[in-house]
Chains A and B, each alone.
Chain A
Amino acid sequence: MKINIKRDSVVCYEVEAKKQTLLEALNEIKITQDGSLAYNSGCRSSVCGSCAVRVNGREVLACSYHVQDGDFVEPLNNTPVIRDLVVDMDKAYGFNAKAKAYQSSITSSVLLSHEDEKLNEVQSNCILCGSCYSACPVYAVNSEFLGPFSLTRVLRYVSDKRETNKKEKIDNIQINGVWDCTLCNACTLVCPQGISSKADIEKLRARSAMFGYMDPSFSNFGGGISF
């Protein structure tokens, strides 16, 4: 079967017609046809987040997508392409630090119940593959948006009993943060871990409201008078 890979131009490769993952097909190309093809991979088991690419316009992990005849493979969006399918994730991952997606301070002897564990279990399953980041349309208008995975990570810590300064976490995500999301749900649809950053951002909005914040796009409209 044929697969098309976006490099400097689109290159068509013939790979063995069998049930295989895209990563296995990429390895086959690299080993037997073209050693110069650049892509990343690691664990082969969907936990390291190295191999996210787009296939036919949709983000997938190459190691968990079964390749189909005629597939069109491209690098992730919203991040600079270094070469072929390899993108530079430094800026994207940098949003974790900007969003302060970590526990404010080291805490000891906080007892967590089974229910407490479940509060952010799904959010802490994130593998930082960047699929949500690539699918997010907000970057077309705001390149400084903290973005879906960083905000999910903020919720992961804010919803944790061990976080002692929840207000600071919420204060920090008001600008280029929760209100910049369009709630389009594109992130949810591509997450290989079943995380919905859109739903997490809605939860963060609710928490923001509890701390007295409101959607700036409403406040700008002068008390609800129609435009």
Chain B
Amino acid sequence: MKSVIIIGAGGAGLVAALSAKESGAKVTVITKEYPTRSQTCMAQGGINAVLSEDGGDSIEIHVQNTLKSAAGLADENAVRYMCQEAPHAVAWLDSIGVGFSRTNESRIAQRKLGGAYAPRACYAQDYTGLKILHTLYDRCLAEGIEILNERYLLEFLTCKDAQEKIFVYGVSVLNKRSGEVQTYEAQSVIVATGGYSRIYHNYSTNSSSSTGDGIATALRAGVKASDLEFVQFHPTALKNSSILISESARGAGGYILNSKGERFVNELLPRDEVSKAIDDEIAKGEDIFLDIRHLGLEFIEKELPQEAKLAKLYENIDPARELIPIKPAAHYTMGGIDVDENSSTCIAGLYAVGECANHRVHGANRLGGNSLLELVVFGRQVGKNAAEHAKSSDENLDLQEQITEIKEYTNEINFYEKQKFLGDLFYKNVGIKRDKTALQNVLNEVQEIRNILPKMGLDDKTKIYNTNLIEFLEFKNMLELAELIIISAINRQESRGAHFRVDFPAADNEKFKAHSIIDKNGAICYED
């Protein structure tokens, strides 16, 4: 039977799995955790779709809002496809049982997020991602889809055909429980491993698993990545823990204040602009707060219960009575594995979807509510395409070698400290504001860390559930990506969306209204 392997069991991976199954393929989903623990569960705001044009909103306006937020860097055709498919995507989620919030008129409730013309984000209280992810998981159980838990991606297995064209024929993974390397073969492989915001370590809203594994691994296999320099900073993360306070808090009318209690930015602007305004204030020595007191206790309990709980737990703050201390934190990575309109990479049979992929729909800055949308729309598309592509091939390679080599590294330098150091450096220099000198310095630091990797061995040389080893492998992937992100940021000598260069503060449409395409060696080019 034609088989499809999907790496990653978040929203994108599970949608792709259901779609590939529906198209007649044998499907195996492989995840380094368990499906319901994926980053998707953290999405709160909603999923954008124009369900009715009665209120003045339209699919065309959704397209225009997305393009505007993208600062000239999104592919209009891809955006149009996504926005047109959006109502179908939401209807499909509704049909499998997602518990969306409903209005008194028995419609799916929608709220307004930053950069949107109208209330367009369908939500499920403030657990939108959680409820979508769990319902997808339940649907996979209903369809009998095989899910292999706790296996960490090592490499994509590739080979050349008679015409010297490179194609994928499977994956190698480390079984975390046994410590053994296993290989799985398939005619199509879909990468759905999420983004790389955890490079920013303590300055990221993401799960500790968002380490860019699939992107780094795909680059090693020979794919190209694009737009890696575009990292979205969410303006409202809790100050101490970087835990996200959903955009719905601003959408509902929350204020952003400085220490003097002044509002200094239109809270409903796109995320990059709000983050930049906050960063400017912090640079002036201001502390920044989110104020939702005026929304009232009843509203907070009904619409924002999760954020109220988190503010209490991590900041010891009651948001109904007190200001919430916030800072911007790395939230979403627009760049990723470069794919065509069929979600295919340049390696035959290898596809990518979700945050790890770049479908060129977010451009330089993603619109809130478009990430859940992207993973459903393109997840459905990629599953079908991968299933149709699936064709036979076979080869074998020896892969235990890589792990054995890492275990021989000496443990002179604690890699966890380097990881934190890298996160601090990235937030400060590859964050909201960038300039050439600082970027160049960080690049040198990253290269130095890569050089001393053999001195950063493991505390733990055992086989069974060696999280020390997994975290080292994640760190290694992040370092590989870190270098490419910086090179992409240095080369883009302009400011656009989430990429702000202090030394080139204006957009340069002549040279840079184009996607940056980079390979594993850091060779970069631009493409419209």
Query: Would you call A90 an interface residue if the criterion is a C-beta within 8 Å of the partner chain's C-beta atoms?
Result: yes
Given A31-B416, A36-B459, CB of A43 within 8 Å of CB of B102? no
Contact indicator B37/A106 (Cβ below 8 Å): no
The B312-369 residues at the A interface (CB cut-off 8 A) are: 313, 316
Secondary structure dominating the interface of A: loop
Contact indicator B207/A102 (Cβ below 8 Å): no
The distance in angstroms between the C-alpha atoms of A214 and B106, with both chains bound, is: 36
User: Smallest CB–CB gap between A189 and chain B, Å?
Assistant: 18
**Segment among B257-265, B400-408, B460-468, B480-488 that sits at the interface with chain A:** B460-468
**Segment among A45-53, A132-140, A176-184, A217-225 that sits at the interface with chain B:** A45-53
Given A42-B207, A127-B130, CB of A49 within 8 Å of CB of B95? no
Total number of B residues with any Cβ neighbor in A under 8 Å: 56
Query: Would you call A9 an interface residue if the criterion is a C-beta within 8 Å of the partner chain's C-beta atoms?
Result: no
Contact indicator B462/A36 (Cβ below 8 Å): yes
Chain B 95-128, CB-CB to A under 8 Å as 1, else 0, gives: 1110111111010000000000000000011010
- Which B residues are CB-close (under 8 A) to A125? 127, 130
- Which A residues are CB-close (under 8 A) to B41? 43, 47-48, 127
Contact indicator B459/A124 (Cβ below 8 Å): no
Q: Give the A-B pair count, Cβ closer than 8 A.
A: 148
The distance in angstroms between the C-alpha atoms of A209 and B181, with both chains bound, is: 51
Partner among A31, A42, A97 whose Cβ is within 8 Å of the Cβ of B141: A97
Query: Would you call A116 an interface residue if the criterion is a C-beta within 8 Å of the partner chain's C-beta atoms?
Result: yes
User: Smallest CB–CB gap between B315 and chain A, Å?
Assistant: 11
The distance in angstroms between the C-alpha atoms of A125 and B38, with both chains bound, is: 15
Contact indicator A35/B138 (Cβ below 8 Å): no
Q: How large is the interface on A (under 10, 10 to 19, 20 to 34, 35 or more residues)?
A: 35 or more
The A136-168 residues at the B interface (CB cut-off 8 A) are: 153, 157, 160, 162-163
- Which A residues are CB-close (under 8 A) to B97? 102-103, 157, 160, 162-163
Query: Would you call B208 an interface residue if the criterion is a C-beta within 8 Å of the partner chain's C-beta atoms?
Result: yes
User: Smallest CB–CB gap between A10 and chain B, Å?
Assistant: 19
Chain B 123-151, CB-CB to A under 8 Å as 1, else 0, gives: 01101001100110011011000000100
Given A30-B416, A90-B149, CB of A35 within 8 Å of CB of B142? no
The A7-52 residues at the B interface (CB cut-off 8 A) are: 19, 21, 30-31, 34-50
Contact indicator A47/B459 (Cβ below 8 Å): no
The winner among B42, B97, B243, B310 for most chain A CB atoms within 10 A is B97
User: Smallest CB–CB gap between B104 and chain A, Å?
Assistant: 6
Q: Which residue of chain B lies nearest to A123 when distances are taken between CB atoms in the complex?
A: B99
Query: Would you call A88 an interface residue if the criterion is a C-beta within 8 Å of the partner chain's C-beta atoms?
Result: yes
The distance in angstroms between the C-alpha atoms of A57 and B372, with both chains bound, is: 38
- Which B residues are CB-close (under 8 A) to A83? 464-465
User: Smallest CB–CB gap between B362 and chain A, Å?
Assistant: 22
- Which A residues are CB-close (under 8 A) to B414? 31, 35
Query: Would you call A191 an interface residue if the criterion is a C-beta within 8 Å of the partner chain's C-beta atoms?
Result: no
Partner among A19, A34, A97, A107 whose Cβ is within 8 Å of the Cβ of B459: A34
A-B residue pairs in contact (CB < 8 Å), sample of 7: A31-B420, A36-B459, A38-B465, A44-B207, A83-B464, A88-B177, A124-B127
| Given A112-B100, A126-B134, A127-B36, 11 new contacts (CB under 8 A) | A31-B420, A35-B414, A35-B416, A43-B37, A89-B34, A90-B149, A96-B138, A102-B142, A104-B142, A114-B102, A117-B101
Question: Closest 8 interchain pairs by CB?
Answer: A35-B459, A36-B460, A102-B138, A83-B465, A102-B142, A103-B97, A31-B416, A42-B207
Residues of A within 8 A of B (CB): 19, 21, 30-31, 34-50, 64, 82-84, 86, 88-90, 93, 96-97, 100-104, 106-108, 111-114, 116-117, 120-121, 124-128, 153, 157, 160, 162-163
